[in-house]
Amino acid sequence: MSLLEFENVNGFYGNSHVLFDLDMTVEQNEVVALLGRNGAGKTTTFRAITGTIPRREGRIEYRGESIARKSVEAISNSGIKLVPEERRIFPTLTVQENLVVARDAASGTPRDIEEMYEIFSVLDDLRENRGQNLSGGEQQMLSIARALVQNPDLLLLDEPTEGLAPVIVEDLTEILEDIVSRDVTVIIAEQNVEFALSLSERAYIIESGENAWDGTIEELRDREDLLEQYLSVGVASD
Amino acid sequence: MVDPGLLIDQLITGISIGSTLFLIAVGLSLIFGVLEVLNFAHGALYMVGAYVVIVTINDFPGGFWVGVLLATLVVGLIGVVIEMGFLRRVYDREDLDQLLLTFAFVLIITDSVRNIFGSGSNVVDPPALLRFDLTLAEGISIPGYRAFVIVMSLVVMGAILLTLRVTNFGRIVRATSSDREMAGLLGINVPRLYTIVFFIGAALAGLGGALVTPLQSVTPELGNQVIINAFVVVVIGGLGSFTGAFVGAYLIGIMIAVGSLFTAGAGQLFPFVALIAVLLLRPEGLFGGVEA
């Protein structure tokens, strides 16, 4: 049984149809890259998983159980946690309060907040700072820490490197390498292809809300045509 | 020149008016701050709170204090029925639909009360415990019950700030009020939280209505009389801000009382002059955008 299975998933915002017969399978402890241009449907795919899209159809199963009609909080409580593209730190809560709220809302056994400060050492000195006073990189770290403290089974990272300085992306890569080596399944949606490929084992490419390609990272590295066609980038092979 | 003694008297009256304004505005502000719903029915709920006290005093043992407790609970539970049965179905719709729904409850509640109790006015004596005058200084005194209501408004303000700042529930409320969807994504049961917050907001309306009974004659129109000033207070203070509601309420109360020394009809005039000034100069309200 796969951890997450998508079959013929369609998504809608009001009258506009945005996901078309999407298929996707994610196994336990895998790290999967979800690639595609801006507007290809990566965030919408995450919205279909987390239940925040207004309407979704098709088979969406998590641990063999349908989550297609479950509420946002019920899906979250089943162990799926999103780190959203906009980070969405609670602006008037301090760093510590952002983590405490998440820890106390966790349905299973949460992780220790102090452990988060060890992983994300930049946050350690910012405990009493309000979310709105953090830099983009600090907010990104806090957003990941907030999801991680809930001890997720499936972590969805939406464009974690977007808008971050290269040196911060390096820090983040190190942290995420550590995280993905643990007992957690991860889907990373990214436009920063090199970053996504360095962490992942398999990839799905989507275009205009449809499956365009899927396979292993090794296969993808040999297919510069795909990267150019769907992601408008060339990528150096190892 | 106005006599200083008279000025101080009016200042005290203003503070007393401010405390009752705060007790009605605070629940309105709480519900707007978290649910983003402008609850027109808040005044009607306040009025129901007053009637619960009257019914308790007339028909049940226990008198005023039991009435205050019952008013808080009963009106809170009416709030739960409104939220769970009706309001939660329109959160995703436009603001106008929400306004129409809460306005429908104003009409339904007000006419129901009128049908049951008639349009006549009801008067309640202050509880025996508080039938004294508190002397503040030579020649300056305040009725004990008015002093009690002022203290109650401070207690409510303190309890709300403390709850929001230091309790787990308060953190969840602050998080959810700033980003409802993100709160849900963390597994917070947002619909249940909304029901609890609406219960608290409605219960505060019931408490406010109950406490005002010894100060004001009670008719089915009570809610309609106070709701406009409550909205003025909340807009001046900044929608959703408790500090704003607190400062706004006392500011308006003092303006009404002190203003009446200078011109007749100040009670009607001053709140709206202040409202217009705030909307022109600081449309987000005095404390707009600042949490708690």
From chain A, the residues in CB contact with B179 under 8 A are 88, 90
Residue A238 — very low, low, confident or very high, per pLDDT cuts 50/70/90? Answer: very low
The tokens describing A197, both together, are 């490929």
**Residue A182 neighbours by CB distance under 10 Å:** 9
Which residues in chain B have Cβ-Cβ distances shorter than 8 Å to A52? Answer: 181, 184-185
Residue B164 has a pLDDT of: 92
Which two three-digit tokens encode residue A238?
A: 């190892």
Contacts of A88 in chain B (CB under 8 A): 179, 182
Name chain A contacts of B182, Cβ cutoff 8 Å: 84, 88, 90
Same domain, A147 and A90: yes
Cα–Cα distance measured from residue A211 to residue A200, given in angstroms and rounded to the nearest whole number: 18
- Strands of A65-66's sheet, edge to edge? A16-26, A4-13, A55-62, A65-66
Chains A, B: CB contacts within 8 A come to 65
A140 with A161, same domain: the answer is no
Give chain A's mean pLDDT: 92
Please state the domain extents for chain B.
20-226
Q: Which of B91, B12, B55, B46 is nearest to B201 (CA)?
A: B46
pTM for this entry = 0.90
Q: Do A159 and A75 share a structural domain?
A: yes
Q: Encode pLDDT of B267-288 as tens digits.
A: 778 888 989 999 999 888 888 7
**Residues of chain A neighbouring B190 (CB-CB closer than 8 A):** 72-73
Query: What gap in Å lies between CA A107 and CA A105, rounded to an integer?
Result: 6
Q: Is residue A171 part of a domain?
A: no
Assess contact for B210 and B45: CB atoms under 8 A: no
Nearest residue in chain B measured CA to CA from A106: B187
CB contact under 8 A, B175 and A104: no
A105:B190 CB<8 A: no
Highest mean pLDDT among A218-227, B107-116, B242-251: B107-116
CB contact under 8 A, B185 and A50: yes
Of the partner residues A50, A88, A97, the one whose CB lies closest to the CB of residue B171 = A97
- Residue A75 shares a structural domain with residue A192: yes
Domains: count for chain A: 2
Q: Which of A91, A92, A101 sits opposite B186 (nearest CB)?
A: A101
Question: Looking at the structure, do residues A75 and A24 belong to the same domain, yes or no?
Answer: yes
Share of chain A residues as helix, strand and coil, in percent rounded to the nearest 5: 35, 30, 35
Average of pLDDT values for A90-100?
96
Indicate if the pLDDT at residue A92 is higher than 50.
yes
Beta strands in A4-62 (DSSP E): 4-13, 16-26, 31-35, 55-62
What is the model's pLDDT at position B117?
A: 94
CATH code of the domain in which A35 resides: 3.40.50.300
pLDDT digits (tens, 9 = 90+) for B157-184: 999 999 999 999 999 999 999 999 999 9
ipTM of the prediction: 0.92
**What's the rounded Cα separation, in Å, for the pair B45 and B223?**
7
Tokens 């007992």 belong to residue? A183
Mean pLDDT of B41-55: 97
Contacts of A84 in chain B (CB under 8 A): 182, 185
pLDDT value, residue B289: 55
Write down the pLDDT at residue A226.
85
Alpha-carbon B103 to chain mean position? 17
Let me know whether A2 and A118 are in one domain.
Answer: no
Domain span holding position A136: 86-152
Using an 8 Å CB-CB cutoff, list chain B residues near A100.
168, 171
A33 and A92 assigned to the same domain: no
| Site from B91, B161, B185 to mutate, A interface, most A CB atoms within 10 angstroms | B185
- Which residues of A make CB contacts under 8 Å with B? 50, 52, 71-73, 76-77, 81-82, 84, 88, 90-93, 97-98, 100-102, 104-107, 146, 150
- From the list B171, B179, B189, the residue facing A73 with the nearest CB is B189
pLDDT at B290: 45
Instruction: State how far the Cα of B84 lies from the Cα of B237, in Å rounded to an integer.
Output: 29
Question: Out of B171, B187, B189, whose CB is closest to A100?
Answer: B171
Considering only CB atoms, which chain B residues are within 8 Å of A98? 175
pLDDT at B1: 62
From the list A82, A93, A97, which residue is nearest B185 (CB)? A82
Maximum CA extent, chain A: 49
CA distance A150 to chain B (A): 8
A205 or B138, greater pLDDT: A205
Q: CB–CB of B184 and A107 under 8 A?
A: no
CA distance A212 to A210: 6
Query: Cα(B292)–Cα(A183) distance, rounded to whole angstroms?
Result: 39
Residue in B with minimal Cα distance to A147: B186
Contacts of B168 in chain A (CB under 8 A): 100, 104
Give the minimum alpha-carbon distance from B193 to chain A in angstroms, rounded to a whole number. Answer: 12
* Sequence letter at residue B118: G
